[in-house]
Amino acid sequence: MKKRTLLIGAAILVIVVLIILRKQGIIGSAGEVLEVETDVVTRGDIIETVTASGKVQPVTMVKISPEVPGEIIELLVKEGQTVKKGDLLLRINPDIYQAAVNRAEAALNSARANLSTAKATLLEAEKVYKRNQPLKASGAISPGEFDAIERAFNVAKFQAEAAEYQLKSAEASYKEARDNLRRTTIYAPIDGLVSKLNVEVGERVVGTAQMAGTEVMRIVDLSEMEVVTEVNENDINKIKIGDSVSIEVDAVSDKPFYGHVTRVAYSSTSNPLNQQQVSTDQITNFEVRIRIHPASYAHLVEKTKYPFKPGMSAAVEIFCQKVENALRVPVRAVTVRSDSASARVKVEEQNKDNAFECVFVVDGNKAQLRKVEIGIQDENYFEIRKGLSENEKIIIGPYTVVNQKLKHNSPIKIKSEKDKSEK
C-alpha cells in the first residue's frame, strides 16, 4: 500500500515538473514552428521627440490692478484697443484722496511749526543753563535752583528731538497721501493691446499697495508669442532649453510654425508640497514654454497684424536629441522578457523583477534571444547601443509571436511575401 502511494506521488510530481518545464520553454516547444516576419539591423539618423498640446499666449502679459480702492469715474480705453506706454487708461474718484492730502499737508505744517517752537525753547533753555553754571560754582544760587534750570534744559532737548520725529512722521504721511492720490490715475505700463476689460464706469474696485486688487484689464504684447504646455514626468528630463520645436495651430494655418524651448519648470504644476494628500496614481506634469519664431509666421502678418490670439490651441513636437548614423531596429522588434528561465538565457545584472529588453535574431530556422541595450527612439526605430550588429536579420512580427510566444531557440518559419499579401 505504501509503495503504491509513493508511486502515485512520484507520478504526480513528475507531471507537475513537466508542466512547469513546458511553461518555461525548456521542453515541449520544439515541435511548434512559429511563422515570423523579419527585417535587418540598419544604420540611420534617429531624432527623439516629445509631443504635447498647449495654448498660445503672449510672452508679455500685464494684469492691471489698482493700488487704491474707489469708484471708476473715467475709462479711456476699450477691449481690443492698441495703447502706448504712458497712455492714460482710467481714473478713480480722487476726492477722498485729495482730502487726505490736504489733512496731511496741514499736519506737516503744524509739525514744522512745533519743531520751530521746540528749537526756540531749547535755545533759550540752553542760554539760561550756561549763564547759571558760573553762579552755581560761586554759590550765588542754591543747588536746588540750578537743578531746576538743568531739568528745564534737558526737557527742552527731549521736546526738540520729539518734534523732529513728529515732523518726519508728518512728511511720510504727506508723501503717502500724495502717492495714493497719484494712484487714482492708471497709465499703460507697456506698448500693447487691451486683450481683456473687466470693468465699466461707475464700478467700485478694490486695491491696496500691499496686495493685488481688482483686475480691471490686461494689456498684452502680441508681437512676441509663445506656447505654454505641460509635459509628463516621464518625458520632462528629455527636454532642455533651446530645443527646436514644430508648432501646429490649426486655427491660423495648416502649415507648421517653428520655435524653441525657453523655459522648463523645475516644480510640477500640481506641487505635492502644497497638498496634504497626494494620490500615487496622480499624473504629474511640468510646464514648458516655447517661443514662436516671428519669421515662421511673417507671411501671415501681411494679412493681419496679429495672426495669433491668446488662448488658441496648439500641438507641439519637441526635438530633444538626435543621433546620426545610429545602429537601429524597428520598434516592433524590441520586446521585454522578465524571466530568464523561460527565455533559456542567462542574464547578468538583473533588476528586481529580472526584466530586460531583448531582440530575437534569426539563426537558421531558430530564434535566438539577444539581450540589447537601447538608447533613444523615434516613432519607428530604437537606437541599439549594445547587443546587435549591422545587417543581422531580426524578427519584427507578428506582435503576439514576438511579445508572447517566442523563446530562445524557438523553431521558426519566415513568412514569404506571398503569405503576407494573402493575409
Task: Over range 336-365, report the average pLDDT.
Answer: 68
Q: What is the pLDDT of residue 343?
A: 43
Would you call 186 exposed, middle or buried from its count of C-beta atoms within 10 A (0-12, 13-18, 19+)?
buried
Q: What is the pTM of this model?
A: 0.69
74-120 tens-digit pLDDT: 999 999 999 999 999 999 999 999 999 999 999 999 999 999 999 99
Q: What is the pLDDT of residue 312?
A: 94
| pLDDT band, residue 300 (cuts 50/70/90) | confident
Q: What is the pLDDT of residue 239?
A: 95
CATH of 34-46+327-343+353-419, one of 1.10.132.20, 3.40.50.300, 3.40.50.720, 2.40.420.20: 2.40.420.20
Q: Is the pLDDT of residue 11 over 80?
A: no
| pLDDT band, residue 282 (cuts 50/70/90) | confident
The superfamily (CATH) of domain 51-56+223-270+282-323 is Efflux pump adaptor protein, beta barrel domain (2.40.30.170)
Task: Over range 132-144, report the average pLDDT.
Answer: 82
159-200 tens-digit pLDDT: 999 999 999 999 999 999 999 999 999 999 999 999 999 999
Domain boundaries, the chain: 34-46+327-343+353-419, 51-56+223-270+282-323, 95-183
